[in-house]
Amino acid sequence: MDDLAQSVLVQWRVNGVLHELDVLPGLSLLDVLREQLNLTGTHMGCMTGHCGACTVMIDGRIAKSCIAQAATLPRAEIRTIEGLMGPDGRLSPVQQAFWDEAGFQCGYCAPGMLFSAIELLAETPDPTDAEIDSALAGSLCRCTGYQSLRRAVRAAARALKDPNPD
Amino acid sequence: MADRDPGMSAAPATGGYVGRAVRTLEGRAPIAGAARYSSDFSFPGQLHAAIVRSPHARARILKVDLSGARKVAGVVLAMDGREVAAHLGPIPHYIDPATFGGKSAEVRTMAVDHVWCYGQPVAVVVAADRRTARWAASRVQVAYEVEPAVLTVEDAIAPDAPKVVPGFDDNVIMAVPFRNGDPDAAFARADHVVTTTVRIHRFSTQPIETRCYNAVWEEETESLTLYGTAQNPHPLRHVLAKVLGMPEGRIRVHAPAIGGAFGMKMHGHPEESLVCLLAKLLRRPVKWVESREECLLIGAREQVHHLELALSKEGDLLALRDRFFANTGAPSACPGWGMAFLTGLTMPGPYRVRDIDVTMTALVTNKPSWNAARGYGKEATALALELALDEAARRLGFDPAELRIRNFVPADAFPYASPTGLQYDSGDYAGAVRKAMAAIGWDEWRARQAEGPREGRYLGLGIAYELTPEGGALPGTMVAGYDSSTVRVAPDGSVRVLTGVTTPGTGNPTGIAQIVADELGCPIEWISVVQGDTTTCPYGFGNYSGRSTIVGGGSAALAARAVRAQMEAVAAAMLGVGVQALRLSDGVFDGGDGRSLAFADVAWAAYTRAYDVASCITPPLEAQATFRPPNIRHSPDAEGRINPYPSYSNAAYATVVEVDSATGQVKLLAFAAAHDCGRVINPLLVEGQACGAIAFGLGGALMEEIRFDAGGHQLTRSFMDYVMPRAEDMPGVTLVHHDSPNPDTYMGLKGAGEAGVGGSAAAVVNAVNDALRPFGVAIHDLPLSPARVWAAIHGRSGAAGGAA
Ligand code: FES
Ligand code: FES
């Protein structure tokens, strides 16, 4: 916006690929991911940190990329929804469970729900419904009423415990 | 093409997918981060638009100074409303009130000289990137002379009210009486008359994906492509052609994946034609992405009902009177205002009372406009009726369930002609109520309630019923009852379905694929469904009114049957047997004599052997068909009434809440619904629709509200203020089916998209009022925010709507 704005050089490993980028101060991580790296799987729903559609993982913790200033992350390990799949292009067990259980409808909220589920199940392999609800509560879904999302998280928990049911 | 063949309501020849919980074909892409929504598209030379909006509800524009914006580096264009109006005509109404005897205002893309609502576009700035555009927009200086605003129903109907639309003689855009029988006589002989005033607040659908439009101008052909969040691509193309003064044939509308729509992405919005104009003027792609704050401008649902129920001492509902007013905000070309009409038309819902006197008054005010919102006014019918019935039960000492069951249209009365002219296709309302109560464990909860409150927390039980006409068609509008599909089988046997209905992300392409797979006797994996593109799809009307599977699935079934007949003729010729001897399943034609042919081999022969085995057909393997539900009636009856709906979904809702008397907080403990959406194509999709709609109802009843200050400035501007349900707020929903097939649609389908908003909201309100009985109060003003519930308990103002 401002010709004089001093851009900042950042070094990020995004989904395993190293990037050196000039980012303008004031830009959100969401903007940089979508516009400079063309990673459009991370979505904008509010820009105020309320909806979770922009969720990514920064250095192993989930974060809302709309309220993360890109220039404040000189070095970071970032994972976006595009980076959840295995190298063979197969869905990860959590993703597969969400698909099989029809967890989503439009899927716009997928980044928040998938990353929340992944983080929850990493720490709590056998979550109660209340734990599932509180893990998902950082994200809004307007389509499902959450019932199918809960079912998908339960199925994902089962899949992670027993990777080869047959 | 035949609209309906005798077997329309019969099962397809090959069963298999219909009725099964098939995960959606299109559901993988979003999970992989690979789905492409409108804002994900960018094109070489992409520019971005930002809109300057009025901070006042009603004002004269004295001067728009664009010079500050034009000085910003990176800005390529800045225009005010007057300049834009020189290029763009008025926006045609999706549903013109004048078509129905109302008044239609001329709706411009941007304000010219006069502002009629907070947030109305006043100027636009285009720049190389979005931030620059927004920054430059903030430097546009507008001088206003602020005028007193009309904000409430009471403001709008005051005799000396300022006129929202200059030139109108009042603020009424449409007033319609829905009258039948002799209500005055019925009131005169009634044992009881119960009056209730129900106030439904302004709330909105708020999909997580906001609107986005990206227009691309192609100089060589002087044509335009609009990529955008459009539920109705073909009708939008018509609107763009009119506004821009271009032929429809040179405009393409492409709606990629949509992140939820719920009516909000039906068209008439100013930004649709505005970005097209900007792209045309600049000869570069121009994109606009709505902010959440802008999205929250779009309202819906605000109504005030003054209801009177006439009852006999046995509890028979003898007559219904309802004077209701809808605050539809400023005029808009979007179809939102029509919700008010539907609220009246759907009276008296599932009840068999014949003597009714309902008047609907749709008002314009200086709040921002409405757009369509899931439920489309039918949710307000349910809220008004169900709150009033509970009020009657409370005052007269009836059991709420028994009072309803006594007054329902009985199951043996279908098809049933309602007093407003609707033709209900089927249902068993009493059976559904009993199922919902059993599903929630009603009697056990009642027993727990009788044990008394615990630590100041009071249990309440509520039920409600909702009748949801779906699949609507309004004469003289682009709200059409029919739609079309093309089915193509390629030489390799793969199947492509192109359909005029669209998906807002609900999974209807998979429902359609299930139907086609069964009709063609092939695996569902061979089928791809294409939607949302005016260049490739048959002319269609898109998504609204829970229609997509009824008419999209119905027309695809008819087209698939025609293609199957072609393939059967070829297969029979190849095998030298009669067509009757063939059996088709799992992609194999079985000749009945031990010989068989693969689906793909028959497809190949149909294309390559046109002079021998395929001479009996006209290639290619392709058919287009239209399904026009036969029970929609637009020729008025003796009373001038029409039946705009082919299907009447309905459901009973039961819930248990706990009210904390110390805080006014309402907690949902249990929720059950018994749902009749006709034949179920895919239980996963139906469950998703029902639970999503229930979340809308619960959110609307308890927390979602768009508020304004006394001067008409909108206070609700982010998800901080507009509080929608999160996982922790939603109880588990027990969904049971109580389906009665629709005799007039493909396989007995009814709409499943809209039902649930009003019924679930009403059940919650009734449950809260049940919990408040010990305090002798009931609330009929929505939403039931903790502050309002607390005030009612503690006898403070805010509990208007009545002491019981
Ligand atoms: S866009 Fe980041 S939380 Fe909504
Ligand atoms: S599936 Fe649409 S917002 Fe969650």
We report the CATH number of the domain holding residue A150 as 1.10.150.120
- Residues A20 and A59 grouped into a single domain: yes
For chain A, how big is the Rg over CA atoms in Å? Answer: 17
Q: What is the pLDDT, as a whole number, of residue B755?
A: 87
Residue B406 lies in a domain: yes
Mean pLDDT of B398-414: 98
Answer yes or no: is A103 within a domain.
yes
pLDDT tens-digit series, residues B235-286: 999 999 999 999 999 999 999 999 999 999 999 999 999 999 999 999 999 9
Residues of chain A neighbouring B257 (CB-CB closer than 8 A): 106-107
Q: Given pLDDT bands bounded at 50, 70 and 90, which one contains residue B154? A: very high
User: Using one digit for the tens of pLDDT, what is the confidence trace for B32-69?
Assistant: 999 999 999 999 999 999 999 999 999 999 999 999 99
- Domain-embedded: residue A88: no
Share of chain B above pLDDT 90, in %: 90
- Name residue, tokens 């749709």: B362
Are A108 and A54 contained in the same domain?
no
Q: What atom in ligand 2 is closest to the CA of residue B259?
A: 2
% of residues, chain B, pLDDT over 70: 97
Give the pLDDT confidence of B207-237 residue by residue, as tens digits: 999 999 999 999 999 999 999 999 999 999 9
Mean pLDDT confidence for B443-466: 97
State the first-to-last Cα distance of chain A, in angstroms, to the nearest integer.
56
pLDDT exceeds 80 at position B728: yes
Beta-carbon contacts of residue A132 (< 8 Å; ≥ 6 apart): A120, A150, A153, A154, B727
Q: How confident is the model at residue B745 (pLDDT cuts 50, 70, 90)?
A: confident
Q: Are residues A138 and A100 in the same domain?
A: yes
Q: Are residues A12 and A78 in the same domain?
A: yes
In whole angstroms, give the CA distance from residue B741 to residue B738: 10
Q: Print the domain residue range for A152.
A: 93-161
Looking at the structure, tell me whether residues B609 and B536 fall in a common domain: yes
Pairing of strands B596-598, B588-590: antiparallel
DSSP 3-state of B489:
strand
Identity of the residue in B260, B292, B684 whose CB atom sits nearest the CB atom of A143: B260
Domain membership of residue A1 (yes or no) is no
Identify the pLDDT of residue A122: 97
Is the CB of residue A111 below 6 angstroms from any atom belonging to ligand 1?
no
Task: Report how many domains make up chain B.
Answer: 3
Do B191 and B245 touch, CB atoms closer than 8 A? no
Query: Is there a contact between A148 and B733 if contact means CB atoms under 8 Å apart?
Result: no
Higher pLDDT, B184 or B637: B184
Confidence of residue B695 (pLDDT cuts 50, 70, 90): very high
Distances (CA, A) of B166 to A85, B59, B107, B113, B148: 58, 12, 12, 11, 14
Question: Is A127 domain-assigned?
Answer: yes
Query: Please, what is the average pLDDT of chain B?
Result: 94
- Return the HEC string of B167-227: CCCCCEEEEEEEEECCHHHHHHHCCEEEEEEEEECCCCCCCCCCCEEEEEEECCCCEEEEE
Residue at A87 is within a domain: no
Considering the domain architecture, whether residues B112 and B249 belong to the same structural domain is answered as yes
Domain end point (choices B295, B322, B357): B295
pLDDT at B638: 86
Residue from B47, B206, B208, B258 to probe the interface with A (highest A Cβ count within 10 Å): B208
Asked if A81's CB is within 8 angstroms of B692's CB, the reply is: no
Does B11 map to a domain? no
Q: Are residues A123 and A65 in the same domain?
A: no
Of residues B179, B756, B650, B690, the one with CA closest to residue B411:
B650
For residue A96 the two structure tokens come to 């597969």
* Distance in angstroms (rounded) separating the CA atoms of residues B105 and A18: 57
- What the block records as the tokens of B256 is 């990629």
Those residues of chain A that have pLDDT short of 50 are 1-4
**Residue that terminates a domain, selected from A56, A82, A108:** A82
- What is the number of the ligand 2 atom nearest to the C-alpha of B30? 1
Estimate the share of chain A in helix, then strand, then coil, as percent rounded to the nearest 5. Answer: 40, 15, 45
pLDDT of residue B796: 67
Pocket residue to mutate for ligand 1, from A28, A32, A54, A56, most atoms within 8 A of Cβ: A54
Residue B803 has pLDDT above 70, yes or no: no
Q: Which pLDDT does position A5 carry in this prediction? A: 64
Give residue B123's domain range.
39-147+207-295
B 277-336 residues with CB below 8 A of A? 289, 291-292
B400 and B512, same domain (yes or no): no
Decide if B331 is inside a domain: no
Ligand 1 atom closest to residue B719's alpha carbon, by position in its atom list = 4
Of B31, B132, B685, the CB nearest to A107: B31
Q: Poorest-confidence range of A15-24, B13-22, B408-417, B668-677?
A: B13-22
ipTM of the complex: 0.96
Per-residue pLDDT tens digits for B522-532: 999 999 999 99
Indicate the residue among B295, B321, B347 that finishes a domain: B295
Contacts of B40 in chain A (CB under 8 A): 34, 40
- Range 239-258 of B in CB contact (< 8 A) with A: 257-258
**What is the secondary structure of B52-84 as a DSSP string?**
EE-SSSSEEEEEEE-HHHHTSTTEEEEEEHHHH
- Asked if the structure places residue A166 within a domain, the reply is no
Cβ atoms B360, B397 nearer than 8 A: no
Please give the Cα distance from B781 to B803 (Å, whole number).
12
Q: Domains in chain A: how many in total?
A: 2
Q: How confident is the model at residue B612 (pLDDT cuts 50, 70, 90)?
A: very high
